[in-house]
Amino acid sequence: MMQAMVALSKRELIRFFRQGHRVVGSVAQPVLFWVLLGSGFSASFQAPGYPGLSYSEYFFPGILLMVVLFSGIFSTITVIEDRNQGLLQGVLVSPAPRMAIVLGKVIGAMAIGLLQALFFMLAIPFLGMDPSFANLLLLLLGLVVAALGFTALGFLIAWNMESTAGFHAIMSVFLLPLWMLSGALFPMEQAPVWLESIMLVNPVSHALVLIRLPLYHSTEVLLANPDYLTAFAIAVAWAMGMLLLALRQIKRPDCSAPAPTS
């Protein structure tokens, strides 16, 4: 299973790096978001509980989340391309376990997002943040768990879509609002009650906690923080749930309709 999984993941990465426009786009978009929104809101922004925090710094965990989420999910668009080009059928008729096919695709797509996130993490010292090595590992773990869950969600949606245009449309009305309502753009405390309720049940909000808190709290404080531990448990459960749903989806064959009753 491992051999098939690694082969399919590696393929995603090779494809990504051979398509220059994808590499440029995936780096340029978050940079533009960060620079433009960071500069635009810096004068008017004040985060409760974080005195003196600039908007660029507040927005930084949101950008990291955006990178792993958007990059991972949009990389699963290759599921649709592969099916249209016949590549997917080629994989499905092989004896490789279905779990290896799901994990191969998801881990490959997730790795693309994580590599970009690692690139963005180089900015951490320049923002005045000084997380310990253990915290950096926890941050990375948070990114992995978040990416896994939402990339599996992308796989699940892509599996049922016939066109890449349809996938983009679904993602624009679904993923973008989820990310916007995660606390990435504005703190939950500043939102009206009705919006806060939505943000509380939004799985992306919990993923953001896993990314934001390791940048500001010591490891000991973090591991004793119920908010962090709850968010971690929810993010892991979400990732497992999405992976299981994706597996169930790929295992379900295209069945004949029942014979009409005469």
Partner 1 sequence: MISIQKLDYYYAVKKQPARCALSDISLQIDPGTLFTLTGPNGGGKSTLFRLLCGLSLPAQGEIRLNGLDLQHHAAEARRLTGVVFQSPALDKHLTLLENFTIHRDLHQLPQALFSSRLEEDMAWTGLAGRLHERVGTLSGGMARRVELVKALLHRPKIVLMDEPTNGLDPGGRRDFLQVIDRLRQERQMTVLMTSHLFDEAERADQVGILHQGTLLAVGSPSQLRDRLGQEMVVIQGKDRQQALFLSQLLEKKPGLSIHHRESELRVEGIDSATLNNLLTDHREQFQTLSVKKPTLEDLFIHLTEQQRGHSS
Applying CB under 8 A, among 14, 118, 165, 169 the residue interacting with partner 1 is: 14
By CB under 8 A, which span of 4-12, 24-32, 58-66, 242-250 interacts with partner 1? 4-12
Q: Give least dist CB 115 to partner 1, A.
A: 18
Three-class DSSP category at 123: coil
Size of residue set near partner 1 by CB under 8 A: 30
Applying CB under 8 A, among 39, 94, 132, 160 the residue interacting with partner 1 is: 94
8 or 117: whose CB is closer to partner 1? 8
183 DSSP 8-state letter: I
Applying CB under 8 A, among 37, 53, 92, 136 the residue interacting with partner 1 is: 92
Helices (H), 122-182: 133-159, 164-179
Integer Cα distance of 174 and 154 in angstroms: 11
Q: Give least dist CB 218 to partner 1, A.
A: 43
18 or 193: whose CB is closer to partner 1? 18
Q: Give least dist CB 97 to partner 1, A.
A: 7
Q: What is the CA radius of gyration of the chain?
A: 20
By CB under 8 A, which span of 3-11, 106-114, 135-143, 186-194 interacts with partner 1? 3-11
Integer Cα distance of 75 and 151 in angstroms: 8
Q: Say which residue the tokens 């983009």 belong to.
A: 168
Q: Identify the CA nearest to 228 among candidates 239, 241, 219.
A: 219
- Would you state the structure tokens that stand for residue 259, as one six-digit string? 């014979």
Residue 90 in contact with partner 1, rule: CB under 8 A: yes
Q: Identify the CA nearest to 215 among candidates 85, 61, 112, 94.
A: 61
Sign of the CA dihedral running 57, 59, 65, 67: negative
Helices (H), 160-225: 164-179, 193-201, 203-212, 219-223
Q: Judge whether 146 and 65 are in contact, CB under 8 Å.
A: yes
57 or 82: whose CB is closer to partner 1? 82
Restricted to residues 221-260, the positions that interact with partner 1 (CB under 8 A) are 253-260
Residue 7 in contact with partner 1, rule: CB under 8 A: yes
Sign of the CA dihedral running 177, 182, 185, 186: positive
- What is the pattern of x (binds partner 1, CB under 8 A) and - over residues 67-86? ------------------xx
Residue 21 in contact with partner 1, rule: CB under 8 A: no
Q: Give least dist CB 101 to partner 1, A.
A: 9
Binding site for partner 1 (CB under 8 A): 3-4, 6-8, 11, 14-15, 18-19, 85-87, 89-97, 253-260
